[in-house]
Structure 1
Protein backbone atom coordinates (compact mmCIF):
# COMPACT_ATOMS: atom_id res chain seq x y z
CA UNK A 1 0.00 0.00 0.00
CA UNK A 2 1.41 3.36 -0.93
CA UNK A 3 1.56 6.32 1.41
CA UNK A 4 -0.98 8.18 -0.77
CA UNK A 5 -3.61 5.50 -0.23
CA UNK A 6 -3.09 5.27 3.54
CA UNK A 7 -6.01 6.06 5.83
CA UNK A 8 -5.67 9.51 7.34
CA UNK A 9 -6.77 10.57 10.83
CA UNK A 10 -9.19 13.00 9.13
CA UNK A 11 -10.91 10.09 7.36
CA UNK A 12 -11.15 8.17 10.63
CA UNK A 13 -12.55 11.29 12.32
CA UNK A 14 -15.20 11.56 9.59
CA UNK A 15 -16.18 7.90 10.04
CA UNK A 16 -16.25 8.32 13.83
CA UNK A 17 -18.49 11.36 13.42
CA UNK A 18 -20.89 9.42 11.17
CA UNK A 19 -20.91 6.60 13.72
CA UNK A 20 -21.41 9.03 16.61
CA UNK A 21 -18.24 7.74 18.31
CA UNK A 22 -16.22 10.27 20.30
CA UNK A 23 -12.48 9.77 19.75
CA UNK A 24 -9.44 11.71 20.89
CA UNK A 25 -6.59 12.79 18.61
CA UNK A 26 -4.34 9.95 19.82
CA UNK A 27 -7.08 7.39 19.15
CA UNK A 28 -7.71 8.78 15.65
CA UNK A 29 -4.00 8.63 14.78
CA UNK A 30 -3.62 5.10 16.20
CA UNK A 31 -6.73 3.79 14.45
CA UNK A 32 -5.68 5.38 11.15
CA UNK A 33 -2.39 3.47 11.36
CA UNK A 34 -4.16 0.22 12.27
CA UNK A 35 -6.64 0.55 9.40
CA UNK A 36 -3.83 1.35 6.94
CA UNK A 37 -2.01 -1.80 8.06
CA UNK A 38 -5.15 -3.88 7.64
CA UNK A 39 -5.75 -2.52 4.13
CA UNK A 40 -2.12 -3.13 3.26
CA UNK A 41 -2.39 -6.76 4.35
CA UNK A 42 -5.62 -7.26 2.41
CA UNK A 43 -3.96 -5.80 -0.69
CA UNK A 44 -1.04 -8.20 -0.24
CA UNK A 45 -3.43 -11.19 -0.03
CA UNK A 46 -5.23 -9.98 -3.17
CA UNK A 47 -1.91 -9.94 -5.04
CA UNK A 48 -1.28 -13.59 -4.19
CA UNK A 49 -4.78 -14.91 -4.77
CA UNK A 50 -5.11 -15.82 -8.43
CA UNK A 51 -8.13 -16.59 -10.57
CA UNK A 52 -7.34 -20.31 -10.28
CA UNK A 53 -7.74 -20.24 -6.48
CA UNK A 54 -11.41 -20.36 -5.42
CA UNK A 55 -12.53 -18.19 -2.51
CA UNK A 56 -13.18 -20.25 0.62
CA UNK A 57 -14.10 -19.64 4.22
CA UNK A 58 -12.45 -22.86 5.43
CA UNK A 59 -9.34 -24.71 4.24
CA UNK A 60 -11.24 -28.01 4.33
CA UNK A 61 -14.68 -28.42 2.76
CA UNK A 62 -17.43 -28.73 5.37
CA UNK A 63 -20.54 -30.83 5.04
CA UNK A 64 -23.42 -31.46 7.41
CA UNK A 65 -23.92 -34.97 8.69
CA UNK A 66 -27.62 -35.38 9.30
CA UNK A 67 -29.64 -38.39 10.34
CA UNK A 68 -32.63 -39.44 8.22
CA UNK A 69 -35.87 -37.70 9.13
CA UNK A 70 -37.95 -40.67 10.27
CA UNK A 71 -41.22 -40.34 12.16
CA UNK A 72 -41.11 -42.27 15.42
CA UNK A 73 -43.50 -42.83 18.27
CA UNK A 74 -45.08 -39.66 19.61
CA UNK A 75 -47.00 -38.86 22.75
CA UNK A 76 -50.76 -38.75 22.73
CA UNK A 77 -52.48 -35.57 23.92
CA UNK A 78 -53.40 -37.30 27.18
CA UNK A 79 -49.79 -38.38 27.81
CA UNK A 80 -48.41 -34.92 27.05
CA UNK A 81 -50.96 -33.18 29.28
CA UNK A 82 -50.74 -35.72 32.13
CA UNK A 83 -48.05 -33.80 34.05
CA UNK A 84 -49.21 -30.30 33.05
CA UNK A 85 -50.20 -28.06 35.98
CA UNK A 86 -53.26 -26.88 34.01
CA UNK A 87 -54.93 -27.78 30.73
CA UNK A 88 -58.12 -26.97 28.85
CA UNK A 89 -59.57 -28.27 25.56
CA UNK A 90 -56.59 -30.62 24.95
CA UNK A 91 -54.13 -27.69 25.26
CA UNK A 92 -51.66 -26.46 27.87
CA UNK A 93 -53.11 -23.66 29.96
CA UNK A 94 -50.51 -20.95 30.67
CA UNK A 95 -50.66 -17.60 32.48
CA UNK A 96 -51.56 -14.58 30.37
CA UNK A 97 -48.52 -12.33 29.86
CA UNK A 98 -49.52 -9.75 27.25
CA UNK A 99 -52.63 -8.33 28.86
CA UNK A 100 -54.86 -9.40 25.97
CA UNK A 101 -58.46 -10.52 26.40
Structure 2
Protein backbone atom coordinates (compact mmCIF):
# COMPACT_ATOMS: atom_id res chain seq x y z
CA UNK A 1 0.00 0.00 0.00
CA UNK A 2 2.80 2.43 0.86
CA UNK A 3 4.53 1.73 -2.44
CA UNK A 4 1.31 2.56 -4.32
CA UNK A 5 1.01 5.87 -2.46
CA UNK A 6 4.65 6.74 -3.22
CA UNK A 7 4.26 5.82 -6.91
CA UNK A 8 1.11 7.96 -7.18
CA UNK A 9 3.02 10.89 -5.71
CA UNK A 10 5.78 10.78 -8.31
CA UNK A 11 3.84 12.91 -10.79
CA UNK A 12 2.05 15.08 -8.23
CA UNK A 13 3.23 18.61 -7.52
CA UNK A 14 5.59 18.84 -4.57
CA UNK A 15 3.05 20.40 -2.21
CA UNK A 16 0.49 17.67 -2.97
CA UNK A 17 2.68 14.65 -2.21
CA UNK A 18 1.96 12.54 0.84
CA UNK A 19 4.09 13.08 3.90
CA UNK A 20 5.00 10.20 6.18
CA UNK A 21 2.49 11.53 8.69
CA UNK A 22 -0.28 11.47 6.06
CA UNK A 23 0.69 7.98 4.86
CA UNK A 24 0.57 6.73 8.46
CA UNK A 25 -2.86 8.35 8.95
CA UNK A 26 -4.19 6.73 5.76
CA UNK A 27 -2.92 3.32 6.83
CA UNK A 28 -4.62 3.73 10.19
CA UNK A 29 -7.90 5.15 8.86
CA UNK A 30 -8.44 3.33 5.57
CA UNK A 31 -6.79 -0.01 6.29
CA UNK A 32 -7.13 -0.23 10.09
CA UNK A 33 -3.45 -0.99 10.53
CA UNK A 34 -3.20 -0.39 14.25
CA UNK A 35 -0.27 -2.74 14.88
CA UNK A 36 2.20 -0.69 12.80
CA UNK A 37 4.05 2.15 14.50
CA UNK A 38 4.85 5.54 12.99
CA UNK A 39 8.59 4.83 13.29
CA UNK A 40 8.26 1.65 11.21
CA UNK A 41 6.35 3.53 8.48
CA UNK A 42 8.89 6.37 8.53
CA UNK A 43 11.83 3.97 8.19
CA UNK A 44 10.12 2.08 5.37
CA UNK A 45 9.29 5.27 3.45
CA UNK A 46 12.86 6.55 3.90
CA UNK A 47 14.23 3.33 2.42
CA UNK A 48 11.70 2.79 -0.36
CA UNK A 49 11.17 6.35 -1.65
CA UNK A 50 14.59 6.65 -3.37
CA UNK A 51 14.24 3.12 -4.76
CA UNK A 52 10.81 3.86 -6.25
CA UNK A 53 12.06 7.13 -7.77
CA UNK A 54 14.96 5.27 -9.37
CA UNK A 55 12.71 2.49 -10.68
CA UNK A 56 10.44 5.10 -12.28
CA UNK A 57 13.39 6.91 -13.85
CA UNK A 58 13.04 10.03 -11.69
CA UNK A 59 16.34 9.82 -9.88
CA UNK A 60 19.93 8.79 -10.36
CA UNK A 61 20.75 5.13 -9.87
CA UNK A 62 24.08 6.05 -8.28
CA UNK A 63 25.27 9.39 -7.06
CA UNK A 64 28.84 8.23 -6.49
CA UNK A 65 31.02 7.80 -9.56
CA UNK A 66 34.10 5.78 -8.67
CA UNK A 67 37.30 6.92 -10.32
CA UNK A 68 40.51 5.02 -10.63
CA UNK A 69 43.76 6.67 -11.60
CA UNK A 70 47.20 5.22 -11.51
CA UNK A 71 49.43 6.97 -8.98
CA UNK A 72 51.22 9.92 -10.56
CA UNK A 73 49.23 9.85 -13.81
CA UNK A 74 46.89 12.72 -12.95
CA UNK A 75 47.09 15.57 -10.47
CA UNK A 76 45.05 18.52 -9.29
CA UNK A 77 46.58 21.74 -8.07
CA UNK A 78 45.36 25.04 -6.72
CA UNK A 79 47.43 28.15 -7.29
CA UNK A 80 48.07 30.85 -4.74
CA UNK A 81 50.76 32.50 -2.69
CA UNK A 82 52.26 30.69 0.27
CA UNK A 83 54.89 31.92 2.71
CA UNK A 84 57.06 29.14 4.11
CA UNK A 85 59.37 29.44 7.07
CA UNK A 86 62.04 26.78 6.63
CA UNK A 87 64.32 26.19 9.61
CA UNK A 88 63.49 29.60 11.05
CA UNK A 89 64.13 31.65 7.90
CA UNK A 90 61.88 32.88 5.15
CA UNK A 91 63.43 32.35 1.69
Q: TM-score range by the shorter chain?
A: 0.3 to 0.5
Larger Rg: 1
Higher relative contact order (CA 8 A, sep 6+): 2
TM-score (norm 2): 0.34
TM-score (norm 1): 0.31
